[in-house]
């Protein structure tokens, strides 16, 4: 998609650019969070903002997630459009009430009279041995609870468009970015996430999945990092004469069930790839969404390649053993075929 | 500075309105709930937390607020809502779960939201703190006037969210006031059992801000302390903390057998009922005549009757509307 | 099951009895939580305990869930066996880190050297107009995250056996009891939950589902209150000549997939009933567990009767519109047959 | 009471051991991470938080503890672990992710758990507080000896969990001490930017317990204050709070460019390095000879070398063991 003379950005830079552009045109937008000021965000997504917008609009906070996320809710209800960072999604446990009981529900509780236009950005994902409290995805946890939109870009183009869309949305949006896609060298980085990003501001529709690779034998459905694993697996499968379609969910809430169902209706086979814990989460939801709609389209039982139901281990060999990867996706296909 | 004659009339009027409102609610609450008491039944289902006895805090504070100021309340919000000027008809209808309610029946008694007067609630202990601090931040950033007040119970002060929000308000020097209604109980657990300090005003030291405790559930003293704190906030001098000794004349929620109260506590509380006390004082101070106060009381009763009538006569929420307003329209 | 001359207990009393019996034989067991002392627990499940065991072992706490659940973890690691109450599951947002990052993971993080034998009891469910912050089930939220066992009894017999098993388990157990089944009149109560309970102490195996009604045309799988809805629907269906099997999951973690799969293999049809939010939760997991295993057993697409993805509304007519009930289950069968 | 000669030797030994250990870790950490620095690579992957400069706090406190006492630590746990007597070989192996590590590689650097000396961690800010308070409760309920100490950073004090645990420890009068390591920074955010009060010992007033701040990163003063607080806890007189001024000589984590530090701050800190200072003072006070201290240093270095060798030579964790020990065996 990217031509050689086009400007490429990392997801981190795409997020920062979208935020800066929006802040220039909308004085209500401001950013709060830990280390998002002079440091520019641990994952680089607010880099350069404090220099342009100053410490009033780019606010470093105390380590008080309940207070500052709750404050974002209050500020949003009062007419501002806060962008808040929860540094690692793993920290949601200290502040989830402010997220799921205030941010997500105050619109409903007020019958729509109060709006809560805010973006909660948070980093997800492992693969670099950061241990069990700093490597989770928790997609299912956030997507399960009503009242918040949830998006998770797999590349910089989508990242910018989603960020702008999230800031303009009058409802709260949880923006889950994967550390391994940020383009921060020190985390390793998936090259496929750094793509051409137009200079001008644009939005991506929240709630629309994308078929990022067309195929006819199997649908591989995933989000974030999993999309890249799926694309790699698709390449391997292609060499074996198997044509895999890859669906990037992009948004988890609203979930674009039509696109998933249409893909599976076409291919007749489904593999879900999810870096979040396997049970009671995203992988189950995708399978259920397809099978409850129409089981007749399926030529074989759907499969999931997901993180097993264990805390994320530190040791590299253990963590890599647990993580989804292209080989496991190919193996899932092989089992599917054999069955 | 003690409240003006006009303030006192306003305060008395709102205290009485709140009391009449709760008396009406209390009575209706039991409709359909006897012989067997089942919360799910009757025109007002669900939990019901009354604030009888705690009216002085609401009026002493809200006397200094305008509709544009922000208040966040708790699971026990009626007195605060009334003093803040929340639409009484729509609030009653909300409590009845009617289509004409503040949120069309989606919220209910623990989720009283009125955007017109910047009033919001949370049923989760201490979780009104963050939003109030955020509203204060919003005003400061926009250079707009207005202060934010969070009401909490004394039990809420031991919740982590309370501490975080106090620190945030202080470090950002925001126009925010935290008002603690110390009714001595968090459901069945006494303040003594649960709080390491007897006087929560002492906790202001942890944030380098002024802290004051008012004894005796006294609307005059509350009015004065709140006036200072709110003026300070309006002047850009940052947040304050006020703890008020108050009394919960009812149970924690309706149906509470209150077996945990020491013998005689309830009787003693009723003797200290702040409404007759204020009435007597106003007359003693020459601030109002018997007739004036009778008229206020009659008007309050009429207003409450009208609100209850409005609620009763309104249509039920439409069942399928449960699926709407999840996201902003 | 219950003979007329046998002793019947409510779930609340069964839980209290199990706890008292265990406290008599194990001095390490103690109870902490809000209003669990003189009040006996808002839902009655510690009633009578403070009179027998005193305020040292039946400890009322400040409204500080993070501190006292964290403290339970520390006490458990130090050799005690705390039973802790989170009054409403809806409050998990103020203390989930202590639950999912400490309680659930410290065994793993210590390679099993520290044990965390504790029980976290918490009330679930709505149906009595308690509004959106006091009526949730959140089964999916707890069951999704690794390191904690999760149980949810549907009747007093199971409640007692699970409670004793939970207290004796060396791993943390989340014990989710439904308010509408507690046998507290003021919450309304499902009569079917109050059943015969033996006097003596006994345990129920955690991780085993139960076929509570045998049938051959459709499997209705549920937990807690949903089991009673399923049983009522099964009666209605029986009158129509349809034989429904009802599976009570009893435990969500570990999930007894074998029992579910065996039931669906027999009946060929699956309806999942879940009072938790529909998407990304229990209902999806059950459907995925069956379909990923073998789609050939299914005669029609599986169905779910779950709470829609909206905050729980206060107004009775709205809440009842959203809640699962026997009629909706019967309607699901009708649609299934028609398809 | 100032530390005895023996205490001082023990303290110095542990400070040096910790420093040598971190120097070794720091060096190895970069193996496999150049030319491109990528945390995921090398024999020690993941984040790495060093505690260089903060050793006085760990030794001043742990000098008063026995293995049966309980310590909970943070994301920056090495100095505390070493002073508490955590097995150095197994800790090194854990940091390398080896099968012989404390938890067989499941935990890693931020999750150092050693049941033999009652040492536990949490990588979530302030979340060691609750477990320490709970361990103190366990001791009190069982009538067993032992105190519990939670170490936290000054940034953690603004976290709700900190407040809740302090209140709980105080209201239950538990044998608990909270030690705040004030290194002036929470990653890139200064204490001034984030804390409403300059001196966190002032926050003890919110719990009605003693609070003390120690300036100058001084192991002697820390030893004295910790001794008093721990003796108080052992005597059943309840919890205390200690804040210690200390210095983080390294970045927040390895790879931190530290651009947020004011010019010259780092140089000034290195001049205040507590290890040479303690060495000089011990010699000046006649508490140790050059030779004795050289010997201590050599022994510390040898111990660290042995631990690193053990870690390097141990087998990797078995990949599939990732699936074990989720539940108690
Ligand atoms: C986080 C949280 N924990 C527990 C509860 C349950 N609860 C509701 S009201 C209450 C007591 C509150 O006491 P206090 O703050 O003093 O307010 P009061 O009820 O006395 O007005 C409790 C424990 C809750 N709503 N939220
Ligand atoms: C609840 C939570 N929020 C944020 C973080 C990310 N984080 C890790 S260390 C740190 C700074 C901690 O500062 P301080 O408590 O002073 O300890 P120090 O790093 O200085 O030792 C932050 C914000 C976290 N681990 N947990
Ligand atoms: Mg109270
Ligand atoms: Mg620090």
pLDDT tens digits for D166-202? 999 999 999 999 999 999 999 999 999 999 999 999 9
Angle at C334 between CA B319 and CA C268, to 5 degrees: 125
Cβ-based neighbour number of residue C4 at 10 Å: 6
Bridge partners, D159 (sequence order): none
> Is the pLDDT confidence value at B237 over 80?
yes
Q: Would you state the structure tokens that stand for residue A268, as one six-digit string? A: 């007749």
- Is A134 in the active site? yes
Distance B187 CA to ligand 1 centre (A): 7
Is B282 an 8 Å CB contact of chain D?
no
Please indicate if any CB of chain C lies within 8 Å of the CB of D310.
no
Q: How far apart are alpha carbons B327 and C10 in whole angstroms?
A: 40
Residue C132 three-state SS: coil
Give ipTM to 2 decimals: 0.98
Helix (H, G, I), strand (E, B) or coil at A245: strand
C89 ligand 1 Cβ < 6 A: no
Say which residues have a Cβ less than 8 Å from residue C50's Cβ, sequence separation at least 6: C36, C37, C38, C40, C58
Q: What is the pLDDT of residue A300?
A: 97
Pairing of strands C149-151, C251-253: antiparallel
Q: Is the CB of D182 under 6 A from ligand 2?
A: no
Q: Output the CA–CA distances (angstroms, integers) from residue C181 to A274, B79, C91, C154, in the order listed.
A: 36, 34, 20, 7
Tens of pLDDT along A17-40?
A: 999 999 999 999 999 999 999 999
Would you tell me how many other CB atoms lie within 10 Å of the CB of residue C257?
A: 16
For residue C118, what are the CA distances in angstroms to A299, C170, C227? Answer: 45, 8, 27
Q: Are A178 and A224 in contact (CB under 8 A)?
A: yes
Instruction: Tell me the pLDDT tens digit for each residue of B142-167.
Output: 999 999 999 999 999 999 999 999 99
Distance (Å) of CA D321 to CA A278, C148, C171, D311:
18, 18, 18, 18
Residues 130-189 of A with CB under 8 A from C: 132-133, 139-141, 143-147
Q: Is A93 in CB contact (< 8 Å) with chain C?
A: yes
Dump the DSSP string for C246-294.
EEE--EEES--HHHHHHHHHHHS-EEEEEEEESTTSHHHHHHHHHHTT-
Q: Count Cβ atoms within 10 A of the Cβ of residue B319 and give its class: 0-12 exposed, 13-18 middle, 19 or more buried.
A: middle
How is residue B217 annotated by DSSP?
A: T
The angle, 0 to 180 degrees and rounded to 10, between the axes of the packed helices D129-142 and C65-77 is 60
Question: Which residues touch A210 (CB under 8 Å, ≥6 apart)?
Answer: A158, A247, A248, A250, A259
**If you average pLDDT over residues C40-56, what whole number do you get?**
97
Q: What is the DSSP letter of C311?
A: P
Strands C218-222 and C244-248: parallel
Q: Give per-residue pLDDT as tens, B104-122.
A: 999 999 999 999 999 999 9
Confidence check: pLDDT of B227 > 80:
yes
In C, which residues are within 8 Å of B322 by CB distance? 308, 310, 313, 315, 318-319, 321-322
Task: Report the alpha-carbon distance of residue A276 to residue C145 in Å, rounded.
Answer: 9
- As a whole number of angstroms, the distance between CA B188 and CA B184 comes to 10
Does A42 score more than 70 pLDDT? yes
Longest dimension (CA), chain D: 57
- Token readout for A6 is 């086009």
pLDDT for residue C5:
76
User: Could you tell me how many residues make up chain B?
Assistant: 329
Q: Is C110 on the interface with D (CB under 8 A)?
A: yes
CA-closest candidate to residue D89, choices D288, D319, D306, D320: D306
Kindly tell me if the per-residue pLDDT of D299 is higher than 90: yes
Are the C-beta atoms of B149 and B180 separated by less than 8 Å?
no
Residue C134 appears among annotated catalytic residues: yes
Residue-level pLDDT at C187: 81
Residue A317 three-state SS: helix
pLDDT computed for residue C4 by the predictor = 63
C-alpha torsion sign, points B277, B283, B287, B292: positive
Over the stretch B12-23, which tens digit does the pLDDT of each residue have? 999 999 999 999
Cβ A93 vs Cβ C97: under 8 Å? yes
Whether the CB of D185 sits within 6 Å of ligand 2: yes
Q: In terms of DSSP H, where are the helices of D63-155?
A: 78-84, 88-95, 129-142
In sequence order, which residues have a C-beta less than 8 Å from that of residue A213 and are 6 or more positions away? A230, A231, A234, A244, A245, A246
| Degrees, nearest 5: CA angle C222-C227-C230 | 90
Q: Which chains touch D (3 or more CB pairs under 8 A)?
A: A, B, C
Domains and CATH numbers, chain D: 5-314 (3.40.50.970)
> Are D206 and B193 in contact (CB < 8 Å)?
no
* pLDDT at residue B276 is higher than 80: yes
Residue A145 has φ and ψ, to the nearest 5°, of -100, 135
Q: Is the dihedral of CA C99, C105, C109, C114 positive or negative?
A: positive
| Average pLDDT in chain C | 97
**Helical (H) or strand (E) element with B185:** strand B185-186
Q: Which of D80, D60, D62, D54 is nearest to D272 (CA)?
A: D54
C-alpha B154/C-alpha D165 separation (Å) is 17
> Tell me, what DSSP letter sits at residue B315?
P
d(CA D269, CA B34): 73
CA B36 to chain CA centroid, nearest Å: 30
What is the number of other CB atoms lying within 10 angstroms of the CB of residue B156? 26
Q: D73 - beta bridge partners?
A: D121
Q: What is the pLDDT of residues A147-205, one digit of tens each?
A: 999 999 999 999 999 999 999 999 999 999 999 999 988 887 899 999 999 999 999 99
Please report the beta strands in chain B, taking only residues with DSSP state E, as ranges in sequence order.
70-73, 119-121, 148-153, 176-182, 185-186, 189-190, 211-214, 240-245
Q: Nearest-CA neighbor of C169 among C146, C143, C150, C197? A: C150
* D236-256 pLDDT tens trace: 999 999 999 999 999 999 999
Contact assessment for residue D59 and residue D15, using Cβ atoms and an 8 Å cutoff: yes
Instruction: Determine whether the interchain pair D171/B194 forms a contact, defined as Cβ–Cβ distance below 8 Å.
Output: yes
Q: Mind telling me how many Å the CA of B111 is from chain C's nearest CA?
A: 8
Name the maximum alpha-carbon separation found in chain C: 61
Angstrom distance (rounded) from CA D214 to CA D228: 13
Share of chain A above pLDDT 90, in %: 96
Q: Which of C68, C77, C171 sits opposite D120 (nearest CB)?
A: C77
Comparing CA positions, the residue from D290, A277, A3, B142 lying closest to residue C148 is A277
Cβ pair B195, B203 in contact under 8 A = no
Domains by residue range for chain A, with CATH: 7-196 (3.40.50.970), 210-338 (3.40.50.920)
For residue A216, the surrounding DSSP H or E stretch is: none
Q: Which residues contact D191 (CB under 8 A, 6 or more apart)?
A: D154, D155, D182, D184, D185, D198
pLDDT bin (cut points 50, 70, 90) of residue D161 is: very high
**In chain A, residues 182-241 whose CB comes closer than 8 Å to chain B:** none
Mention every residue, 6+ apart, whose C-beta is less than 8 A from residue B19: B52, B55, B275
C47 touches chain B (CB under 8 A): no
DSSP assignment of B152-165 equals EEGGGGGSHHHHHH
Give me the helices (H) in B98-159, please: 129-142
| Residue A1 pLDDT > 60 | no
Got the DSSP string for C144-170? HSTT-EEE--SSHHHHHHHHHHHHH-S
Q: Which of C17, C22, C85, C134 is catalytic?
A: C134
Residue C2 has pLDDT above 70, yes or no: no
Name the DSSP class of C174: E
Question: Which of C37, C42, C39, C45 shows the shortest CA–CA distance to C14?
Answer: C45
CB B70 within 8 A of CB B118: yes
CA nearest neighbour of A65 among B207, B161, D167, B239: B161
In chain C, residues 131-160 whose CB comes closer than 8 Å to chain D: 146-147, 149
CA B323 – CA B300 distance, rounded (Å): 36
């Amino acid at each position: 998609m990217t031509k050689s003379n086009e400007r490429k950005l990392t997801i981190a830079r795409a997020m920062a650019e979208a935020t800066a552009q929006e802040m220039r045109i909308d004085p209500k937008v401001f950013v709060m969070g830990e280390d998002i000021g002079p440091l520019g965000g641990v994952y680089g997504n607010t880099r350069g903002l404090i220099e342009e917008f100053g410490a009033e609009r780019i606010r470093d906070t105390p380590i008080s997630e309940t207070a500052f996320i709750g404050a974002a809710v209050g500020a949003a209800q009062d007419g501002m459009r806060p962008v808040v960072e929860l540094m690692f999604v793993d920290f949601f446990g200290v502040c989830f009430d402010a997220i799921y009981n205030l941010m997500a529900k105050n619109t409903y509780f007020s019958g729509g009279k109060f709006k809560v236009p805010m973006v909660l950005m948070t980093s997800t994902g492992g693969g670099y041995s950061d241990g069990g409290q700093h490597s989770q995805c928790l997609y299912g946890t956030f997507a399960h609870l009503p009242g918040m939109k949830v998006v998770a870009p797999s590349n910089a183009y989508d990242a910018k468009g989603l960020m702008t869309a999230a800031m303009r949305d009058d409802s709260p949006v949880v923006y889950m970015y994967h550390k391994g896609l940020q383009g921060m060298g020190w985390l390793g980085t998936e090259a496929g996430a750094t793509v051409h990003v137009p200079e001008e501001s644009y939005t991506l529709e929240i709630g629309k999945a994308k078929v990022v690779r067309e195929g006819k034998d199997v649908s591989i459905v995933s989000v974030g990092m999993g999309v890249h694993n799926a694309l790699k697996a698709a390449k391997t499968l292609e060499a074996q004469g198997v044509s895999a379609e890859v669906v990037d969910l992009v948004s988890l809430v609203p979930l674009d069930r039509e696109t998933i169902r249409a893909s599976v209706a076409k291919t007749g086979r489904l593999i879900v790839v999810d870096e979040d814990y396997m049970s009671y989460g995203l992988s189950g939801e995708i399978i259920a969404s397809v099978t409850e709609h129409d089981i007749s389209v399926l030529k074989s039982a759907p499969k999931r390649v997901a993180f097993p139901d264990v805390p994320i281990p530190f040791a590299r060999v253990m963590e890599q053993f647990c993580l989804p990867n292209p080989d496991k996706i190919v193996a899932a296909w092989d089992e599917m075929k054999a069955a | 500075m003690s409240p003006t004659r006009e303030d006192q009339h306003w305060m008395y009027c709102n205290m009485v309105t709140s009391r009449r409102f709760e008396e009406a609610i209390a009575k209706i609450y039991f409709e359909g709930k006897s012989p067997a008491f089942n919360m799910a039944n009757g025109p007002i289902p669900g939990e019901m937390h009354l604030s009888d006895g705690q009216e002085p805090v609401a009026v002493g504070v809200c006397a200094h607020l305008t509709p544009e100021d922000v208040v966040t309340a708790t699971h026990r919000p009626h007195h605060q809502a009334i003093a803040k000027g929340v639409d009484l008809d729509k609030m009653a209808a909300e409590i009845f779960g009617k289509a004409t309610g503040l949120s069309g029946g989606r919220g209910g008694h623990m989720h009283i939201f009125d955007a017109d007067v910047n009033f919001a609630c949370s049923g989760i202990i201490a979780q009104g703190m963050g939003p109030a601090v955020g509203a204060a931040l919003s005003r400061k950033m926009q250079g707009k006037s207005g202060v934010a007040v969070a009401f909490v119970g004394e039990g809420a002060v031991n919740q982590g969210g309370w501490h975080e929000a106090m620190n945030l308000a202080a470090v950002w020097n925001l126009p925010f006031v935290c008002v603690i209604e110390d009714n001595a109980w968090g459901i069945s657990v006494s303040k003594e059992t649960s709080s390491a300090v007897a006087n929560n005003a002492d906790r202001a030291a942890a944030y380098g801000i002024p802290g004051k405790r008012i004894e005796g559930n006294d609307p005059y003293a509350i009015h004065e302390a709140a006036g200072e704190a709110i003026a300070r906030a309006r002047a850009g001098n940052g947040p304050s903390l006020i703890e008020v000794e108050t009394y919960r004349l009812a149970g924690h929620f309706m149906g509470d057998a209150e077996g945990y109260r020491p013998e005689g506590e309830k009787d003693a509380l009723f003797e200290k009922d702040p409404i007759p006390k204020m009435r007597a004082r106003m007359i003693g101070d020459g601030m109002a005549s018997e007739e004036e106060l009778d008229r206020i009381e009659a008007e309050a009763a009429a207003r409450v009757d009208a609100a209850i009538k409005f609620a009763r006569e309104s249509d039920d929420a439409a069942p399928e509307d449960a699926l709407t307003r999840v996201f902003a329209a």
